[in-house]
Amino acid sequence: MQERVMPFRCIVCDQRHWDGITVMEEFICGRCEREMIRTPVEHEKYPFFVVQMRKIWLKEQA
Ligand SMILES: [Zn+2]
């Protein structure tokens, strides 16, 4: 059975994608997921990812 699903909106880059993962009912696109994985903690972009991920955790607690 072919199911028609709308593209998900990535919580990190705020763009709609088809491929990616769902964390705590929030979607992270494959591109951002790969970027997060290969971004070292000391990288200047890392805090950005942490902030985006924190949105998910805060939502979960609400
Ligand atoms: Zn993304």
Q: How far is the CA of 29 from the centre of ligand 1 (A)?
A: 4
Mark 36-51 as b/e (b = at least 16 C-beta within 10 Å). Answer: beeeeeeeeeeeebee
The amino acid at 60:
E
pLDDT at 29: 95
Centroid of ligand 1 to alpha carbon of 62 (angstroms): 23
Q: Tens digits of per-residue pLDDT, 9-59? A: 999 999 999 899 998 888 999 999 999 999 999 999 999 998 988 888 887
pTM of the model: 0.72
Distance CA 49, CA 8 (A): 18
DSSP-derived secondary structure letter, 10: B
Q: How far is the CA of 1 from the centre of ligand 1 (A)?
A: 28
| ∠ CA 6-12-8, rounded to 5° | 5
